[in-house]
Chain A
Amino acid sequence: MTDGAALGAGLARGEERLERTGRWNGVYGLALVATAVGILVGTPVVILAGLAGVGFAAYSRFTDAPDPALAVERHVSDTDPDPGDTVRVTLTVTNESGATLPDLRFCDDVPAGLEVVEGTARHTTALRPGKRASIAYEFEAVRGRHEFDSLTVVTRDLSGASRRVSRQATDRSTVVCRPRYDERSVPLGDLATQLTGSRPVSATGEGLAFHSLREYRTGDSLASIDWNRFAKDGALATRRFDQPRTVKVVLLVDARRPAYVTAAGDRRPGVDVCAHAAGALVGGLTDGGCHVGLAALSPRSLWLPPASGRTHRERLLDALTTDEAFGWRPPESATDDGFDRLRSQLPGDAQVVFCSPFVDDRAVDVARALDARGHDVTVASPDVTATDSAYRRLAGTERRLRLDECRRTGIPVVEWSEGDGGGGTRSARPSDASPQSDRAVATDGGGAGWR
């Protein structure tokens, strides 16, 4: 990430700008004073000294930093690393401008999220025509598609009075780091489609497994009447059977700017943790026979409607890995979250699993709005708060209170933790659930798989 005051900040790929450095501000005045004093005392040496200053000022005024013509070669040692692997980048810059570059500084535009762990991606040198300069550095691979496609270059003239800053386009090198997602599930609600499927829900119909008896109603099929009961007490009763249905689940990942927070020392944003949680749920829910979709709560739109099948599952995981909505750089807008757009996309019969760190009240508003719209909503929330200061502990408490507010309104909450082996549906202890909710909810001190 470039800091705000850095050269090249705000330049698009291929753009350049020429700037005056202001290094020799004041030289004009000093030169004129020296000249005047020289005239005053009538000493040629002093006059010459003044004129030298005037000459230098004129030079710095009328010369510009050279426009570099550079050939850039970049070699990346591994374009498909696993998370945590170290990847080496070698960058060679050749001066093809036909003139010496007295002050050349360049910096590889390392994509956001990648941390250099060995060497440096910056270099300063003077480069004669035809000569080359090389740098090498290593970074640690993390989830995402990382594009190396530009180089920030700064040249200065000999006096340093002007500089030319550019983001030079280079050949594209793409590194894709795909994590291995766990396969986990969460307790779902009963909202289902009208389509027959494999997911047991509360609906009854034409299935095979016995569900219950109810009083006979005109129009019920004769085949569904419980004749044994009729023979026993003369009352007509209709047998009902479980009707497995197709369940649509949309995984909604909180990728708003406020979700780009991290626990102290972690340097891994909540959005990345939520993307991993959603990736684990893709596996668990598709294995459970659900049609799974994916959406980002973010100004950077992402919408994959619910579907099933191996290809669709790969598409979901690929989006979680590489889509810009879940990138390492926060979105520019802190207010727009694309929720209105999302509401128009969500099918009415879809359940929603909302993956969010719940670090602000907007997350509660979103969960409650979806619940009020008739979707069965489940919250899966990783904890990215810290405890090493009073304000950070307060933020952790506020997060807990927000989750409790969801529970009070009947929205099940799963506190998501990683690194406990993964795989399979975790048991969830139904404690601390709101009275309105009869669904299993994992909370503080819940099942071993949940935190």
Chain B
Amino acid sequence: MNARRALLGVGFGAVAVGVALTLRPGLVRFDFATLLTLGIWAVALVGGALAAFERLGSERTTGGGLPRAGERPDYDVPGDDLAAAVGAVGVGERDAAERDRIRERLRDAAVDALDRYEGVPPAEAEQRLVDGSWTGDSEAAALFTDVDDSPHEGVESGFDRRAERAAAAVARLRDGTDGDATARRRGGVADD
């Protein structure tokens, strides 16, 4: 709409100039105006051609704006909502609340998983999350230990990577394949 108004303004301005020059003939003596006219039309034609190509291209993919027909709704896969939330969240202070919400969900899952699969009481599980000993993956552990370590307040770089590693670590607790946790269960030493 703004481009349309701008072009309209240019048009009215040009008409005004044209009328003025009509009243004072001879103000422009060379053929520059004709060249300008041709240039404007050339630009218009090129623009029109580009628009036509774009339109043709979009028709191939969207059927000219017609509804998608005969396709099942795109159902989510469980977990994709969290992946999307992590992907959308920024590292700045503005998104700190959203990051905390995601962190809480992962924290709850980790505590429950430690309780269920490792037999760790919730209070002790919380402590392990705080000191980072709940998993052998340091990146995953850092999601809960390095919250306030950033030199810039409210800024948390690498959140998406840590969240993904933490999600994987929680899932490994169920499988019993988390190296550090498995070693603790056996009373041995982690091998990773």
In the assembled complex, B50 has its CB within 8 A of some CB on chain A = no
A26 x B113 contact (CB < 8 A): no
A40 x B18 contact (CB < 8 A): yes
Given the known interface contacts A33-B14, A46-B34, A393-B167, the answer about A116 and B70 at a Cβ–Cβ threshold of 8 Å is: yes
Binds B, one of A173-181, A202-210, A258-266: A258-266
Residue among B9, B59, B106, B116 with the highest chain A CB neighbour number at 10 A: B116
What's the minimum C-beta distance from B105 to chain A, rounded to whole angstroms? 9
Residue among B10, B37, B167 with the highest chain A CB neighbour number at 10 A: B37
Bound form: Cα–Cα A121–B68 in Å: 9
Chain A residues, CB < 8 A from B6? 29
In the assembled complex, B63 has its CB within 8 A of some CB on chain A = yes
A33 x B11 contact (CB < 8 A): yes
A122 x B17 contact (CB < 8 A): no
Binary interface encoding of chain B residues 164-190 relative to chain A, with 1 for a CB under 8 A from any of its CBs, else 0: 110110110110000000000000000
What's the minimum C-beta distance from B148 to chain A, rounded to whole angstroms? 25
Given the known interface contacts A391-B80, A397-B170, the answer about A40 and B21 at a Cβ–Cβ threshold of 8 Å is: yes
Q: Which of A33, A42, A122, A393 contacts B69 (CB 8 A)?
A: A122
Chain B residues, CB < 8 A from A115? 70-72
Interface residues in B, total, Cβ within 8 A:
65
A40 x B78 contact (CB < 8 A): no
Bound form: Cα–Cα A385–B59 in Å: 36
Q: Which of A2, A6, A107, A401 contacts B116 (CB 8 A)?
A: A401
A397 x B14 contact (CB < 8 A): no
Chain A residues, CB < 8 A from B11? 28-33, 36
B7 x A393 contact (CB < 8 A): no
In the assembled complex, A376 has its CB within 8 A of some CB on chain B = no
B41 x A390 contact (CB < 8 A): no
In the assembled complex, B64 has its CB within 8 A of some CB on chain A = yes
A385 x B69 contact (CB < 8 A): no
Interface residue ranges of A1-53 to B (CB < 8 Å): 1-3, 5-9, 23, 25-26, 28-43, 46, 49
In the assembled complex, A386 has its CB within 8 A of some CB on chain B = yes
Interface residue ranges of B49-89 to A (CB < 8 Å): 51, 59, 62-80, 82-83, 86
What's the minimum C-beta distance from B59 to chain A, rounded to whole angstroms? 8
Chain A residues, CB < 8 A from B3? 25-26
Interface residues in A, total, Cβ within 8 A:
77
Interface residue ranges of B90-119 to A (CB < 8 Å): 106, 109, 112-113, 116
Bound form: Cα–Cα A29–B64 in Å: 27
B78 x A385 contact (CB < 8 A): yes
Bound form: Cα–Cα A31–B11 in Å: 8
Bound form: Cα–Cα A390–B37 in Å: 61
Given the known interface contacts A6-B68, A40-B33, A116-B70, the answer about A394 and B18 at a Cβ–Cβ threshold of 8 Å is: no
A386 x B77 contact (CB < 8 A): yes
Which A residues lie at the B interface, using CB under 8 A?
A: 1-3, 5-9, 23, 25-26, 28-43, 46, 49, 105-110, 112-116, 120-122, 124, 137, 139, 152, 154, 260-264, 267, 269, 328-330, 357, 359, 384-386, 389-401, 404
Which B residues lie at the A interface, using CB under 8 A?
A: 1, 3-4, 6-12, 14-19, 21-22, 25, 28, 31, 33-34, 36-37, 40-41, 44, 51, 59, 62-80, 82-83, 86, 106, 109, 112-113, 116, 164-165, 167-168, 170-171, 173-174
